[in-house]
Amino acid sequence: MARFITVRLAHAAGIVLLVATLTFFLLHLAPGDPLTGVGEYSFIPPEIVEQQRRNFGLDQPVYVQYARYLANLGRGEFGYSFREHRPAAQVILDRIPNTLALAGAALVIAFALGVLIGALQAARPGSRLDDALSMATLTLYSMPVFWLGVMLLLLFGVNLGWLPVGGVVDQAAYPYLSPLGRLGDRLSHLLLPALTLGLVGAAVVARYQRAELLDVIHQDFVRTARAKGLSRASVFWRHAVRNALMPVVTLFGLFFPLLLSGAVLVETVFAWPGIGRLAVDSIRARDYAVVTALAVIAAVMVVLGNLIADLLYRVVDPRTRNAA
Amino acid sequence: MRTVLGRALAQRRVRLGLALVCTLCLVALLAPLIAPYDPVTQLDLAEGQLLGPSAAHPFGTDFFSRDLLSRVLYGARISLSVAVLSVVLSVTIGTLVGLAAGLAGGLLDNVLMRGVDAALAVPRVFLLLVVLALWDNVGVGGLILILGLTSWFDASRIVRGEVLSLKERDFVAAARVLGVGGRRIALRHLLPNVAAPVIVTATLGVGQMVLVEAALSYLQVGVRPPTPSWGSIIFEGQQVLSSAWWIATFPGIALVLTVVGFSLLGDGMRNALDPRSR
């Protein structure tokens, strides 16, 4: 096990380095730099902009900048954000809690709803309920996540007026709310974005859960349990669902890329100040340091997600432990 | 192959998917004939802004008084052509890389697959945003090229896997014993056998690519206005959501129907090829 983890960690480090390199060169080979827009303001003399370029080493050849970037990265330095005039790491750290709240809530919705739907379907495969639900999950799965967000916004925010239309808190009222009121305000802002991301995730989980369950149902231990005289419902929920749940849990790790891509869109729809929205804004502003740092963080999360998935799988299914 | 096709068409869902996809192709081809107005003409800026659905404008009009139905119909052209062409490109690259990696093995296989791992570790939307936002306005052709070049990774993995298992089969060994060269084995013996999974991947891929293009256009880095793209129409609609619900709603429905069509078709073909996977 220890050897397995070491090999995989080394592998993961290699991938993260590749991603950092790829992003660095994509950014630096593209026309313009973080100061490009700045020079367009007539009140900043071009000499000053040039001076800034020299100060930040943006006039150096790409390979020199790359070497510096790697050296900094090795020391855990992510560089300086031109857009916000402070270290990139700080800019990102400020936004991470918002994205974690969104992704966490979405994960809970995705797994709770997905496992339930998948189980309901597999209980009576081929029934009308199964057909209807699988059409529903397919439709959800085929739905642009940002459009789902806009439609939920239209229904609950604009037409019914039940929920706020964007942001993390109600800027005007928040300072005057009681602690409980503040929590309520945060939750009411979180609900729609989390639901948007969670529903699409639920469709993925449900499809997987249904297939797993149908596999498990035909195995010998299920027949044995039935033969022992246990009721159909008890066998289904206590034996089959439990066993099918385990492979589904491993999906958890594979969810990271979906959540990250989803966060970019959902945060844009709901003006949610997380790292997805930050990515869009930083790329537009050519804020090199923030963009490369986000790419590295995203890659670390995806690679760790894969590793967690594999480890969970080994814990859940002892038969895979001996495979390298 | 005929029995596979028969098995696929025997499923009601596949027929539904096929009907959706065919309708969509017809709409895309015939857009100039069936659209009531020109999709980019601003009809009447004084009186015709943000009109709700009516007999004259079944889907209403947008902020610039353009007819939304016409824009959605023309949107099918953009959506389909971008998705289909970029998937053709990506599947071609993916198949070639997968064949090369699977056949060569050793160092080449290792290098190619580690590269694929790294590429898959970057969230797709993020990678595309970096490329598209930085190279300002690449046009529809550039968009197709970039989408194709950044989405062959999955296909290459699938083909490599197939090749690795096919390589050990007797008919390949027999061909080798008969002195058939590597390139000929790849093209005449392996390629036809990986065609089926590749076609399934491509069908599902078109649906996903429609979503990716829509997402990029929604983020204002894909197809640029005034060219009608479903994604950018939804973005425009969100700006006036409280006064004109129809603008964001109709292109989204078109998107869902399109992707559902390709998903039904792709899933159905996969089931037909491998009856166990149901």
**Out of B27-31, B64-68, B181-185, least confident range:** B181-185
| A288-316 vs A275-284: helix crossing angle, rounded to 10 | 140
User: If you average pLDDT over residues A149-178, what whole number do you get?
Assistant: 83
In this model, does residue A323 exceed pLDDT 60? no
Cα–Cα separations (whole angstroms), residue B53 to B67, B68, B147: 10, 9, 35
In chain B the first and final C-alpha atoms are separated, in Å, by: 19
A258 near A201, Cβ under 8 Å? yes
CA proximity to A133, closest of A209, A241, A224, A44: A209
Question: Average pLDDT in the A179-188 region?
Answer: 83
pLDDT in tens, B84-116: 999 999 999 999 999 888 888 788 888 888 888
Higher pLDDT, A111 or B126: A111
Q: Tell whether the model's pLDDT for residue B220 goes beyond 80.
A: yes
Q: Quote the pLDDT of residue A324.
A: 43
Residue with tokens 């005007």: A172
Contact B248 A144 (CB under 8 A): no
- Centre a 10 Å sphere on the Cβ of residue B75 and count the other Cβ atoms it contains: 30
For residue A22, is pLDDT > 80? yes
Which region holds residue B136: left if phi is over 0, alpha if psi is between -120 and 50, else beta? Answer: beta
Question: In this model, does residue A201 exceed pLDDT 50?
Answer: yes
Read off the tokens for B121: 């570790």
Residues in chain A: 324
The rounded mean pLDDT for chain B is 85
Closest CA to B209 of B110, B66, B81, B98: B81
**B242 to chain A: nearest residue by CA?**
A158
Mean pLDDT of A211-219: 83
For residue B53, cis peptide bond before it (omega within 30 degrees of 0):
no
Q: Does the pLDDT at position A264 exceed 70?
A: yes
Q: How far is CA B198 from CA A41, B150, B166, in A?
A: 52, 17, 15
- Averaged pLDDT, B72-86: 92
Token pair of A163, please? 């929920």
- Nearest chain A residue (CA) to B252: A147
Q: Closest Cα of chain B to A148: distance in Å? A: 8
Work out the percent of chain A whose per-residue pLDDT is above 70: 94
Q: Which two tokens stand for residue B263?
A: 């998903």
- Return left, alpha or beta for A273; rule: phi > 0 is left, psi -120 to 50 is alpha, else beta: beta
For residues B222-236, give the mean pLDDT: 88
Q: What pLDDT sits at residue B57? A: 80
Q: Quick check: A127 pLDDT over 60? A: yes
Predicted pLDDT at A133: 92
Nearest Cβ partner of A27 from B120, B134, B264? B134
Coil, helix or strand at residue B220: coil
| CA–CA distance, B208 with A122 (Å, rounded to integer) | 26
User: Span B215-240, mean pLDDT?
Assistant: 89
What whole-number distance in Å separates Cα of residue B255 and Cα of residue B231? 9
Chain A residues close to B264, C-beta within 8 Å: 138
Average pLDDT over residues B198-205: 89
In this predicted structure, what is the pLDDT of residue A159?
A: 81
The residue-averaged pLDDT of B242-258 equals 91
Instruction: Using the predicted structure, report yes or no on whether residue A313 has a pLDDT greater than 80.
Output: no
Q: Does residue A39 have a pLDDT over 60? A: no
User: A9 CB near a chain B CB, below 8 Å?
Assistant: no
Q: What is the pLDDT of residue B19?
A: 92
Considering CB atoms only, which of B123, B130, B256 is closest to A260?
B123
Of all residues in chain B, the one with the smallest CA distance to A144 is B211
Please tell me which of the candidates B114, B130, B237 has its beta carbon nearest to residue A291.
B130
* Least confident segment among A268-277, B56-65, B145-154: B56-65
Tens of pLDDT, residue by residue over A63-92, are 888 888 888 888 888 888 888 888 888 999
- List beta partners, residue A86: A81
pLDDT of B278 > 70? The answer is no
Instruction: Provide mean pLDDT across the span A138-160.
Output: 90
- Are residues B218 and A265, on separate chains, in Cβ contact within 8 Å? yes
Task: Summarize pLDDT for B24-63 with one digit per residue, the tens.
Answer: 999 888 888 887 888 877 777 777 777 778 877 888 887 7
SS (H, E, C) A38-88: HHHCCCCCHHHHHHHHHHCCCCCCHHHHHHHHHHHHHCCCCCEECCCCEEH
From B133, B249, B260, residue closest to A142, measured CB to CB: B260
Average model confidence (pLDDT) across chain A = 83
- The answer for B 184-213 residues in CB contact with A (under 8 A) is 207, 211
